[in-house]
Amino acid sequence: MAKRSSVATVLLWILLLSVPLGFYVRPSKASTIIVPDEYLTIQTAIAAASDGDIFDIVIAAGNYGESW
Would you state the pLDDT for residue 45?
86
**pLDDT at residue 7 in the model:** 85
Residue 5, sorted as left (phi over 0), alpha (psi -120 to 50) or beta, turns out to be: alpha
pLDDT of residue 27: 63
**Residue that wins the pLDDT comparison between 66 and 23:** 66
Q: How many CB atoms lie within 10 A of CB 48?
A: 14
Task: For residue range 5-57, list pLDDT tens digits in order.
Answer: 788 888 888 877 776 655 556 666 667 888 888 888 888 888 888 777 788 88
> From the CB of residue 35, how many other CB atoms can be counted at a distance below 10 Å?
19
Query: Which has the closest alpha carbon to 46: 29, 55, 66, 38?
Result: 55
